[in-house]
């Protein structure tokens, strides 16, 4: 039994622990944004880009949303994925500039050690999964601003290749900045960059010209998100405002978006699920399987799985589906575990390759994630780039049905020699797809992998 003095000590320790958690949550949210609403209670899980941003602030608690959902179902008038009022069938669209949606978020990692504590991983490096979550949240804010005054159901459709452009030698204050740079009828492309804060940066946000500074020495990361707008009642595509470039830099960004859109269409046509491998690729697979390298690792031996219940704390603005950035973080960290386990080294993030969100993930469903290595490519000095694919499937608890929801591809750099070898036809196709992805990545972003300048997320080492 614990004595009276011991009981007081336990109680005091519990109070201190709870107070620390509350102070941490409040502190983090005020550091992330200077515009936190007084009526919005800070929450630890909220990503930096969403905290305090009024366009993306949830309008209902989960209990309120659940109560409204049940009442709407009893009345028989809930047919979509949102509780928002019905949108006009034919909206009045306008031309918007990139400045209308341009948004910045500051992460003061250098000047705030406790904020840095949230963003570092066990190896003392930047926790890239957390950054991905923030980037998706920021993209959602930007897409929402562009669509105003209408509020369609916005979902992440895909993420184009994301590169770590250079080595982060020391802890830096970071600026996450982005804007809508291209639009289709019901889709938008959002370009986001992550820069180190420089002496020339003021407290006032910049503009789209920052995104067009492709050769910035302070740039660590570039990402392109595609969001699609849906009518929350019918779940059909919903038209959105057009983008109108007004400067030379904005025209360059718009043309870049057009190229990305054409490249995605071409990649869909060239996918190995549709067209067969070339003769060269077939011979490569034949030789690899017939004459595998010594001490190779079978694809089947790299498989790693995770199962999670989707809790409402990670829901999106519309209350009933899971926020895409949360899925990016979870899949990235499973991929990180996978490559660490097969290589027995601490991996460094190299790139996130084109990623697709096929179906939404409902709150309350069960998410199954399966990660496996699909391709490896040797580098100088005995190091390797290893590509990991994470497939996600969601199960409806009430009906028992399963639906594929997405595929996420990440590449990591490890300081050891790794040879991944497929055995089945499906594994061979994934190996070849990974090889094509690696070649495309080198063409779009020439590799700087060498002993003096390895692109990764190093913070302390």
Q: What is the pLDDT of residue 155?
A: 86
User: Which segments in the chain show pLDDT lower than 50?
Assistant: 1-56, 447-461
pLDDT in tens, 220-268: 888 999 999 988 777 789 999 999 998 999 999 999 888 888 887 777 7
Q: Roughly what angle, to the nearest 10 degrees, separates helices 425-444 and 279-290?
A: 120
Half-sphere exposure at residue 66, Cβ-oriented, CA atoms within 13 angstroms: 10
Instruction: Look up the pTM and report it.
Output: 0.82
Give the contacts of 27 (CB within 8 A, at least 6 positions apart). Answer: 114
CATH architecture of 88-266: Roll (3.10)
CA of 451: how far to CAs of 9, 167, 383, 459, in Å? 53, 12, 10, 17
**Tally of CB atoms within 10 A around 275:** 9
**Torsion on CA atoms 212, 213, 219, 223, rounded to nearest 10:** 10
CA dihedral for 389, 427, 293, 353, sign (positive or negative): negative
Residues 248 and 209: their CA atoms lie apart, in Å, by: 9
pLDDT tens, residue by residue, 18-62: 333 333 333 333 334 433 333 433 333 344 444 443 344 677 888
Domain ranges of the chain: 88-266, 288-444
According to the model, what pLDDT value does residue 272 have?
81
- Predicted confidence at residue 2, as pLDDT, reads 44
Which pLDDT does position 160 carry in this prediction? 83
Q: Given 3.40.50.12160, 3.40.50.11540, 3.40.50.300, 3.10.129.10, which CATH number is that of 288-444?
A: 3.10.129.10
């Amino acid at each position: 039994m614990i004595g009276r003095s011991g009981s007081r000590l336990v109680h005091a320790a519990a109070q201190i622990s709870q107070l620390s958690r509350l102070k941490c949550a409040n502190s983090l949210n005020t550091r992330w944004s200077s515009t936190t609403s007084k009526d919005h209670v800070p929450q630890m899980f909220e990503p930096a880009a969403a905290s305090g941003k009024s366009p993306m602030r949830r309008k209902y608690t989960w209990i309120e949303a659940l109560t409204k959902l049940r009442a709407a179902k009893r009345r028989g008038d809930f047919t979509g994925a949102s509780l928002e009022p019905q949108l006009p069938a034919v909206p009045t669209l306008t031309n918007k500039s990139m400045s209308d949606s341009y948004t910045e978020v500051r992460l003061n990692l250098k000047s705030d050690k406790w904020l840095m504590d949230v963003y570092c991983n066990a190896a003392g490096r930047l926790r890239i999964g957390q950054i991905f979550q923030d980037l998706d949240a920021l993209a959602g804010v930007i897409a929402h601003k562009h669509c105003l005054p209408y509020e369609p159901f916005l979902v992440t459709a895909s993420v184009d290749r994301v590169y770590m452009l250079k080595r982060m030698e020391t802890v830096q204050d970071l600026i996450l900045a982005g804007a809508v740079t291209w639009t289709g009828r019901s889709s938008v492309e959002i370009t986001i960059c992550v820069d180190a804060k420089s002496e020339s940066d003021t407290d006032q946000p910049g503009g789209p010209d920052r995104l067009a500074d492709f050769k910035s020495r302070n740039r660590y990361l570039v990402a392109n998100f595609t969001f699609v707008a849906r009518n929350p009642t019918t779940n059909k595509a919903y038209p959105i405002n057009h983008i109108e470039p007004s400067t030379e830099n904005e025209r360059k960004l718009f043309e870049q978006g057009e190229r990305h859109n054409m490249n995605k269409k071409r990649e869909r046509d060239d996918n190995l699920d549709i067209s067969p491998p070339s003769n060269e690729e077939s011979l490569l697979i034949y030789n690899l399987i017939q004459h595998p390298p010594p001490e190779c690792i079978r694809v089947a031996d790299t498989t790693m799985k995770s199962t999670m219940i989707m809790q409402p704390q990670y829901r999106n603005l519309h209350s009933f589906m899971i926020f895409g950035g949360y899925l990016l973080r979870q899949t990235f960290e499973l991929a990180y575990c996978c490559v660490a386990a097969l290589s027995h080294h601490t991996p460094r993030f190299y790139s996130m390759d084109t990623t697709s969100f096929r179906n939404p993930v409902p709150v309350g469903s069960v998410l199954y994630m399966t990660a496996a290595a699909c391709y490896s490519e040797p580098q100088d000095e005995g190091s390797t780039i290893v590509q990991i694919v994470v497939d996600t499937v969601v199960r409806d608890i009430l009906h028992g049905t399963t639906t594929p929801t997405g595929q996420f591809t990440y590449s990591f750099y490890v300081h050891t020699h790794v040879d991944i070898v497929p055995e089945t036809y499906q594994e061979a196709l994934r190996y070849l797809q990974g090889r094509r992805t690696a070649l495309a990545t080198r063409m779009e972003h020439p590799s700087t992998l060498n002993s003096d300048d390895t692109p990764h997320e190093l913070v302390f080492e």
